[in-house]
Structure 1
Amino acid sequence: MNWRINRNKFEMPKMGPWTQRFMLSTVLVAGLFGLSTRKTNGPASPNQPADGPGGANYLHAEVIMRDSASETDGYWLFEPASPKPDSAHVIVFMHGYGALNPMAYGGWIKHLVRKGNIVIYPRFQRDMLLTPTEQFPANAAKGIRDALKALKTGDHVRPINGPLIMLGHSYGAATAAYLAVKYKQYGIPQPKGLLLCAPGTGPMNGAKLDDYRNMPADTKLLIVNSNDDQVVKEKFQRTIFNTAVNTPTRNFLKLYADEYGTPAVKAHHNACYSLDESLDCGLRNPTIYRSYLVGQTNAADYYGYWKWGDALIDCVRAGENCEFAFGNTVEQKSLGTWADGKKIKELEVWLP
Structure 2
Amino acid sequence: MPSNPAPTNAPVVIFCHGFSAILPRGYQAWIDHLVSRGNIVLWPNYQDNLRVPTRGFVPNALAGVKAGLHILQSGPGGVLPDLERVAVVGHSAGGMVAAGIAASASAEGLPKVKALMPVEPGDSRRGGVASVPLADLSTLPDDILLLILVGEDDTSVATFDGERILHESTSVPAENKALFMLHSDSHGSPALVANHFTPTAVLNTDGSFAKTPVRPGVSRNTMNIGVVDAFDYMGTWRLLDRLLGAAFSDAPRDQLFRDRSLMLMGKWSDGVPVVPLTRLN
The Cα shift of 1:185 comes to 3.3
Alignment of 1:261 onto 2:185: no
The Cα shift of 1:325 comes to 4.8
CA contact (8 A) 1:105 1:273 kept: yes
Alignment of 1:335 onto 2:265: yes
**One-letter code of the match for 1:343?**
P
CA contact (8 A) 2:16 2:89 kept: yes
**One-letter code of the match for 2:93?**
Y
Q: 2:227 aligns with which of 273, 281, 296?
A: 296
Q: Structure 1 length as normaliser, TM-score?
A: 0.69
The Cα shift of 1:251 comes to 0.2
Q: Which has the larger radius of gyration?
A: 1
Show CA shifts across 1:56-107 (max 9, x none): xxxxxxxxxxxxxxxxxxxxxxx01222222211110111111112121111
**One-letter code of the match for 2:121?**
P
Give the distance between the partners of 2:100 and 2:7, measured in 1 at CA: 32
Residue of structure 2 in register with 1:191 after alignment: 113
Cα distance, 1:349–1:292 mapped onto 2, change above 3 Å: closer
Cα distance, 1:233–1:154 mapped onto 2, change above 3 Å: closer
Cα distance, 1:289–1:110 mapped onto 2, change above 3 Å: same
Alignment of 1:109 onto 2:35: no
Residue of structure 2 in register with 1:37 after alignment: none
Give the distance between the partners of 2:262 and 2:13, measured in 1 at CA: 21
Identity %: 30
Show CA shifts across 1:120-147 (max 9, x none): 01111012x2111111111111111111
The Cα shift of 1:190 comes to 2.3
Alignment of 1:152 onto 2:73: yes
Residue of structure 1 in register with 2:200 after alignment: 273
Residue of structure 2 in register with 1:80 after alignment: 2
Cα distance, 1:244–1:154 mapped onto 2, change above 3 Å: closer
Alignment of 1:250 onto 2:250: no
Q: Structure 2 length as normaliser, TM-score?
A: 0.86
The Cα shift of 1:164 comes to 1.1
Structure 1: 4+ residue segments shifted above 6 A:
321-324
Give the distance between the partners of 2:137 and 2:82, measured in 1 at CA: 28
Unaligned runs of 5+ in 2: 208-213, 217-221
Give the distance between the partners of 1:162 and 1:150, measured in 2 at CA: 17
What is the root-mean-square deviation in Å for CA atoms of aligned residues? 2.4
Give the distance between the partners of 2:47 and 2:60, measured in 1 at CA: 7
Show CA shifts across 1:249-300 (max 9, x none): 00000111001113322110111111113499xxxxxxx8679951111111
The Cα shift of 1:196 comes to 0.9
Unaligned runs of 5+ in 1: 1-78, 281-287
Give the distance between the partners of 1:205 and 1:190, measured in 2 at CA: 27
